[in-house]
Amino acid sequence: MVRAHRNRRTSRSGFSLLELLVVLAVLSVVFSLVAIGGRTFVQRASERSVVDTFQQAVWQGATSAAARGFRTELVLDGEELSIRRLGTGDVLRRFELDGNAAWNLDDGQVLVFTPPGAIDETTLDALPDPIEIVAAGTTYRFEVSLIGEVRVR
């Protein structure tokens, strides 16, 4: 009877020190690239958040007036925009703003929306032209139409 010799390989578990060092070096390079690029990404996301929030708040104010059949107002209060029912002050919607953003708007009533969903022209005329928001060092200029459309210039 002939027996075949099997190669006995000893099984190792775990990583060698060299493999571990290579993985750590690769991870450190990846993390440093993410840290550098991530900071810019976060700043840009913050900027875009302020722009989107303002556009959304104006659109929601016009939509609320049209859908509910009563006048609504857009109110700026520090770091918050809110849509309220005109006369009662009931808050219909709140929008948190980035605390680092600077506006050329004063706190208080910004716009009034009438039931067909249009902006009251007297409040629109009282707005600064253009509306400016400075977020993360970038200045955005806005133009608001009578139907609640907000465009970045």
Q: Is residue 43 part of a domain?
A: no
Res 69: pLDDT:
93
d(CA 114, CA 102): 28
In this prediction, residues 123-131 reach a mean pLDDT of 89
What is the distance between the alpha carbons of residues 153 and 136, in angstroms, rounded to a whole number? 18
pTM of the model: 0.70
pLDDT over 80 at 96, yes or no: yes
**How far, in Å, CA of 152 to CA of 56, rounded?**
13
Q: Which residues contact 78 (CB under 8 A, 6 or more apart)?
A: 107
Tally of domains within the chain: 1
Q: What's the CATH number where 108 sits?
A: 3.55.40.10
In the structure, what pLDDT confidence band is assigned to residue 73 with cuts at 50, 70 and 90? very high
User: Pick the residue with more confidence: 73 or 48?
Assistant: 73
Those residues whose C-beta lies under 8 Å from the C-beta of residue 106, and which sit 6 or more positions away, are 76
For residue 95, the model assigns a pLDDT of 93
Q: Write down the pLDDT at residue 12.
A: 65
DSSP string, 88-136: T--EEEEEE--TT-EESS-SEEEEEE-TTSPBPHHHHHHS-SSEEEEET
Side chain identity, residue 50: V
Give the residue numbers spanning the domain of 84. 48-152
* Any domain includes 142: yes
- Residue 17 placed within a domain: no
pLDDT of 5 over the 70 cut: no
Instruction: Give 8's pLDDT tier (boundaries 50, 70, 90).
Output: low
C-alpha pair distances (Å), 28 with each of 6, 39, 68, 73, 125: 42, 17, 55, 51, 55
Residue 1 covered by a domain = no
Q: Which residues contact 63 (CB under 8 A, 6 or more apart)?
A: 117, 148
The reply to whether 20 falls in a domain is no
Residue 90, pLDDT above cutoff 80? yes
More confident residue, 12 or 40: 40
Structure confidence by residue, pLDDT tens digits, 130-139? 899 888 778 8
Please report the pLDDT score of residue 59 as a whole number.
Answer: 92
- Averaged pLDDT, 50-63: 90
Residue 95 is which amino acid? F
**Measured in Å, how far apart are the chain's first and last C-alpha atoms?**
91
Is residue 11 in a domain? no
